[in-house]
Amino acid sequence: MAITLMNPEGLPEIDVYRQVSVATGSKLVFVAGQVAWDAEGRTVGEGDLAAQTERCYLNVATALAAAGATFDDVAKLNVQVVDWTPDKMPLLLEGIARASAALGTTPVPPATLTGVAALDVPEHLIEVEATAVID
């Protein structure tokens, strides 16, 4: 595997991601920000952050698979959530847990969560982009 995830001594250990990712592979995969669209471009889970989070992660997995990668190859995630407040964390984690169950893996690469005013369409509450490294 091209990715090693770690929590270095001296940094806090975060349950939902690792602080550092070390990549040794030779092929980079950049996945555009994925929103809660199904294959026909319909929004899934309108008004439901957990459902949209799950769909975003499943869409990222689909994009990764097309490039020959999985979440185990992800070196970094960027997550944008509309009108983010800390009380939304349980919904975000619920969506990630649902996606993890569906995928049979728990994505824990380093991640950055950013609150944004809006995304591409008003119905979208979250967008997830990924960078992966494969051999």
Distance CA 90, CA 82 (A): 15
User: pLDDT by residue (tens digit) across 46-90?
Assistant: 999 999 999 999 999 999 999 999 999 999 999 999 999 999 999
Which residue type occupies 56?
A: C
Beta-bridged to residue 29, according to DSSP, are: 132
**C-alpha separations of 87 from 34, 49, 91, 96, 113 in Å:** 23, 12, 8, 16, 14
Please report which confidence band the pLDDT of residue 3 belongs to, taking 50, 70 and 90 as the band edges: confident
Residues contacting residue 72 through CB under 8 Å, at least 6 positions apart: 1, 3, 105
Report how far apart, in Å, the C-alpha atoms of 30 and of each of 7, 17, 26 are: 24, 19, 13
- Residue-wise pLDDT tens digits, 67-77: 999 999 999 99
The SS3 of residue 50 is helix
Strands of the 111-116 sheet, one edge to the other: 27-34, 126-134, 74-82, 111-116
What global pTM score does this model have? 0.90
Residue 107 banded pLDDT, cuts 50, 70, 90 = confident
- Residue 69 one-letter amino acid: A
